[in-house]
Amino acid sequence: MHIIKKNIITVVFLFCVLSLQAQKNSDGQRISVHFSKVPLKAILAQISADYNIQFSYGNDHLTLHQKISFHSDDKNLEATLKQLFEDNNIVYRRIGAQLVLKPGSNKNKKRKARKKRKKRRDAIREERDKETLERGRLFDFDIHSEIIGNKEVSLEEEEFKRDLIPTDPIQAINTEEIGGVYYRDTLQTAETNRVAPGKYRSIKTSLGQFSVLPFLASNARHRTRFNVFSVNLIWGINGGVNGFEFGLIGNSIQRHIHGLQIGGFFNNAEGHLYGMQFSGILNIVKGDIVGLQVGGLWNLGGNVYGSQFSVLGNIARDMYGMQFSGFSNIATDVYGFQVSGLFNFANGKLYGSQIAGFGNVAWGGKSAVQFAGLFNISAKAQFQIAGFFNAAQSVDGAQLGGLNMAKSVKGVQMGVVNTTKELEGLQVGLINHAKKATGLMLGVINVVDSIKGVPVGLINIVHKNGYNRIEVFAADAVYVNLAAKFGFERYYHILQIGWRVGADNIYTWTAGLGVGTKVKLNEALHFNFELLSSHVNENDSWTKELNLLNQFKASLDIQVRDRVSFFVGPTFNALMSGLYNENTQLHGSNIMPYTLFDQTNPKGTNLKLWIGLSAGLRF
């Protein structure tokens, strides 16, 4: 009987061990679970049946009949259950082979919901920024198409053909029939690309035409022909130009221009321009321009391989050259220069320079140089100079302006206020701010989260790896003192004020600046070495004479508790003073308790030396 009981105990023990091992193996197994609009109770029952897990819960506490969707891929069982319960605000605890479930608090539910919304917003924002930079445009439209319409080529084809700037020389005009002035091809190139005029087969060219108005013209019956010479007394409509055209009021071309077109008020071409176009008010070319556009007020063109000059503004799809205007220049991508009296706008990429009296905007691509009287805005900038502010997502060069803002800077930011998330280089300004800095920050106020480098300024605030302390202490010469220390342990700045009332009821107050460094001995002990210079005001709101207290302080810091320490140490003092007491006929100040050295030069400047002591609390 004793042997049977012993065997039963052994079998039960082995069963328990095997059960625990099976449970452990199921927990470590990587599984995928997918449920769509299924009650929570059914999900728990399915998991319990598949993985031999018992759930314990009260029906009156959990919303078991609520239909939910849950998906988990390639995770172990424990991670899958954790995700399921967190998504549905359920708290669980393992007791033996059972999981005891109970609903979570509303506070946890709201916190998780906020965290989930924030994560989703951050993901959307990051994806949007990435798409913006990849697209290379600030606004999702094509400037040329919006203003003067798209011309036969889709944006995808345009992107493909944009780099096909012709390098082969254009061949001579082929005059197959001189008598009737018939051209099979107006111009011929080795290969057809974006700026090639194309093969205009079977298009006749006349030697010339004269018109007063479109319906009073020598070519009224042959309006689709090209003309070598065209004169429009008021306004004329022609198929194209293969030479020269003049219109007192304006010229309208149904196809292309090869040569020179001059209009008193306007020129309009449905096709391309290969040559020059001049008008008193407006030039419009719906195709590409290889050459020059000069308009009294406005020039509008497709892809421009050349220059545009106008009094008010120039508009182009892509600019391979220069735009000059008194008011504004607008283009999608710019590979060259934009110069205007007011502003320049590149909706896509800028590989070149923008110069404006008011502001420049370029989004995407490699913005080279931007000069403006007021502001510059760019996604990627190399060099920005503005009278008021510069803004860029990333700077690989320099920003010079009153206010400089960037997401990341590799180079220099120089202005009154500079701010960036990531800095690799130099910041020079009245106020400098960076989230993460590698390099030098030089300003009156420097604020940074973390830095690998040196912040040099009157106030340096380093959040993560910084040394920011407030201390109250007493000293032998100035009895009550308050100091603030900003920077990091190797190098920090000091702002200090002090107060004392002497035995003769003469009050004295000091204001000083200094620098210091911390030498760590262990977690509870360290030394501070500091240099300070304080102006001493004796019995006056501000003493105008020289009265300067220079100090070298060495103190032992003993940590009392977290961020509270006691310090004590010697102070080496040198007081230079130009004060003179007519009653006592003595030179210098008398705040020191004693002197080791006391001497006055012939100019009346007194120097006193002594060694003192300071002690206080540091927070």
- Summarize pLDDT for 87-104 with one digit per residue, the tens: 777 887 777 768 888 787
Residue 90: the pLDDT is 82
Residue 4: the pLDDT is 46
Rounded (10°) angle between helices 2-28 and 77-87:
70
Residue 385: the pLDDT is 92
**328-359 exposure pattern, b = at least 16 Cβ within 10 A, e = fewer:** bbbbbbbbbbbbbbbbbbbbbbbebbbbbbbb
Rounded (10°) angle between helices 77-87 and 40-51:
170
- Mean of the pLDDT values across residues 535-553? 92
Q: Which of 78-92, 174-188, 211-225 has the lowest mean pLDDT?
A: 174-188
**Among 173, 396, 418, 382, CA closest to 274:** 173
Phi-psi region of 601 (alpha: psi -120 to 50; beta: other; left: phi over 0): beta
Rounded to whole angstroms, the Cα distance separating 339 from 206 reads 40
Rounded to whole angstroms, the Cα distance separating 64 from 569 reads 69
Neighbours of 91 (CB within 10 A): 13
- Mean of the pLDDT values across residues 363-381? 82
**Among 447, 443, 383, CA closest to 420:** 447
H or E stretch at 396: strand 389-456
Q: Which two tokens stand for residue 504?
A: 């003769």
Rounded to whole angstroms, the Cα distance separating 365 from 305 reads 19
Rounded to whole angstroms, the Cα distance separating 563 from 521 reads 16
Query: Do residues 408 and 397 lie in contact, with contact meaning Cβ atoms separated by under 8 Å?
Result: no
Q: Which two tokens stand for residue 492?
A: 């920090």
**Among 343, 341, 323, 324, CA closest to 333:** 323
Q: Which two tokens stand for residue 258?
A: 């090869």
Q: Which two tokens stand for residue 246?
A: 């003049």
Residue 556: the pLDDT is 96
Distances from the Cα of 449 to the Cα of 412, 420, 445, angstroms: 19, 11, 14
Work out the pLDDT band at 551, boundaries 50, 70, 90.
very high
Rounded to whole angstroms, the Cα distance separating 333 from 317 reads 7
Rounded to whole angstroms, the Cα distance separating 236 from 225 reads 13
- More confident position, 243 or 347: 243
**375-412 exposure pattern, b = at least 16 Cβ within 10 A, e = fewer:** bbbbbbbbbbbbbbbbbbbbbbbbbbbbbbbbbbbbbb
Query: Do residues 31 and 77 lie in contact, with contact meaning Cβ atoms separated by under 8 Å?
Result: yes
Neighbours of 36 (CB within 10 A): 9
Q: Which of 209-223, 230-244, 469-483 has the lowest mean pLDDT?
A: 209-223
- More confident position, 9 or 414: 414
Query: What residue type is 80 in one-letter code?
Result: T
What is the Cα 116 distance to its own chain's centre?
25
Query: What residue type is 239 in one-letter code?
Result: G
H or E stretch at 495: strand 491-501
Q: Quick one: what percent of the chain has pLDDT higher than 90? A: 42
Domains of the chain: 2-104 (3.55.50.30), 165-302 (no CATH), 404-465 (no CATH), 469-618 (2.40.160)
Query: Do residues 340 and 325 lie in contact, with contact meaning Cβ atoms separated by under 8 Å?
Result: yes
Rounded to whole angstroms, the Cα distance separating 390 from 72 reads 46
**6 exposure class (CB count in 10 Å sphere: 0-12, 13-18, 19+):** exposed
> What is the average pLDDT score of the chain?
80
3-state secondary structure of 463: coil
Per-residue pLDDT tens for 530-539? 999 999 998 8
For residue 11, pLDDT beyond 50: no
